[in-house]
């Protein structure tokens, strides 16, 4: 698992480099929205089968116990928070062991299994993106009550907002269930998701957010489940290139969205943190990364 940890550290610093070159001022807090790639434990506290509260999850985390992160240890947002010098880990908003004194420097609203599409979150009864936004509004009220309106508003404006989701929309929804695939072509569905992402960013902007990173899709055809599925259906365990191509196309659309929003929303600092090429290199050339 050391190699997995090293890979996440490498990816975290790749994302961090992308962000720092756009915004060098002090970041008081990291605010997280998304799916299992960034869920730090919210699913532990809702009624869903999609949880990671059992071994071997968490075995390399402090204390060696599962935390609800879908990882053997920290997740990428923890590393980003640590690299910014804020704190070692970002707590889950629904975890009752934390409160506003913990959340003032960072909080996670993400929920494993969710997507941009509300229909995706329905599959496993997880927290949809609109509900994550409602939790964020609730958090804003608590933050202003705790810090005072002026300092609370400053924290909201200067914080870094990380958004990471989209894989489940394709792999757990579009390609498995007929509800969307019978209505949309792949390209139409990509455009639908991008429109949802655009509205989400606009809502965050209205609420005071100014520094944002939208995460691109990884080479999702190389995820372990997809490679295993290829064996089940007679393949050799190779990556599903069809899915990788869709991920690349979607990332291109997200890049177009970022460029559009930069022009539309005055004062916003927004970047696409695209892990596709970095993770592809790790998969294709593992020896470069410590094997």
Beta bridge partners of 163: 33, 214
Sign of CA dihedral 237, 289, 89, 77: negative
The one catalytic residue among 6, 7, 36, 229? 36
Helix 129-147 vs helix 186-206: crossing angle, to nearest 10: 10
Q: How many angstroms separate the CA atoms of 170 and 190, rounded? A: 9
Q: In whole angstroms, give the CA distance from residue 27 to residue 125.
A: 33
DSSP string for 110-139: --TT--SSHHHHHHTT---HHHHHHHHHHH
Q: How many CB atoms lie within 10 A of CB 23?
A: 17
- Count CB atoms within 10 A of the CB of residue 251: 22
36 is an active site residue: yes
Contacts (Cβ under 8 Å, ≥6 apart) of 55? 66
Residues acting as catalytic residues: 36
């Amino acid at each position: 698992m050391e190699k997995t940890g090293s890979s996440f550290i490498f990816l975290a610093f790749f994302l961090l480099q992308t962000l720092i070159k756009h915004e060098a001022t002090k970041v008081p807090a990291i605010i997280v929205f998304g799916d299992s790639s960034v869920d730090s434990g919210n699913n532990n506290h809702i009624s869903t089968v999609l949880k990671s509260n059992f071994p071997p999850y968490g075995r390399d985390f402090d204390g060696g116990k599962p935390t609800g992160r879908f990882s053997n240890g920290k997740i990428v947002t923890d590393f980003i928070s640590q690299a910014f010098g804020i704190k070692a880990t970002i707590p889950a908003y629904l975890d009752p062991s934390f409160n506003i004194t913990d959340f003032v420097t960072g909080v996670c609203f993400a929920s494993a299994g969710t997507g941009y599409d509300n229909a995706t979150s329905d599959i496993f009864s997880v927290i949809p993106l609109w509900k994550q936004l409602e939790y964020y509004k609730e958090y804003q009220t608590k933050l202003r009550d705790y810090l005072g309106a002026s300092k609370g508003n400053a924290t909201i404006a200067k914080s870094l907002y990380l958004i990471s989701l989209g894989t489940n929309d394709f792999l757990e929804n579009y390609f498995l269930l007929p509800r969307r695939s019978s209505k949309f072509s792949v390209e139409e569905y990509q455009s639908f998701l991008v429109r949802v992402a655009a509205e989400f960013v606009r809502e965050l902007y209205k609420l005071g957010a100014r520094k944002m990173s939208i995460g691109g899709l990884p080479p999702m055809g190389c995820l372990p489940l997809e490679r295993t599925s290829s064996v089940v259906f007679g393949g050799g365990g190779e990556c599903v290139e069809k899915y990788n191509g869709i991920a690349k196309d979607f990332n291109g659309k997200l890049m177009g969205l970022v460029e559009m929003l930069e022009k539309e929303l005055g004062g916003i600092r927004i970047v696409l943190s695209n892990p596709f090429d970095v993770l592809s290199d790790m998969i294709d050339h593992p020896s470069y990364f410590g094997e």
